[in-house]
Amino acid sequence: MFTNSGKTALTIRKIEVSGSSHSDFEVTSTCGSSLEADKSCTLQITFTPRGQGAQTAVISIVDDAPGGPRQVCVEGIGTRPEIKALPLRRDALLRFQP
């Protein structure tokens, strides 16, 4: 949730992801390019790891308010998928003929 606690509308110039694992994180938002005073919008962060272990990035919201940009550090943990081998049943085999 991102809230404009100011007394005037906030112009949002961009929302970007940076850092060593920036491509593992995607941000979608309901913010648009302007946020009225005392209103909020939602940021949704999706983590799709491309490697194992800790992956970090920085979400930056670039706006026209003093003291910007607003930044949030994010971290996700990539794990190796678990694969289980199941025994084949002989009657479950598929046969293809030319």
Contact 59, 15 (CB under 8 A): yes
pLDDT in tens, 12-61: 999 999 999 999 999 999 999 999 999 999 999 999 999 899 999 999 99
Q: What is the reported pTM?
A: 0.76
- Contact (Cβ atoms closer than 8 angstroms) between residue 73 and residue 14: no
Phi, psi of 23 (to 5 degrees): -75, -10
Please report the pLDDT score of residue 81 as a whole number. Answer: 79
In the chain, where the domains are located: 2-77
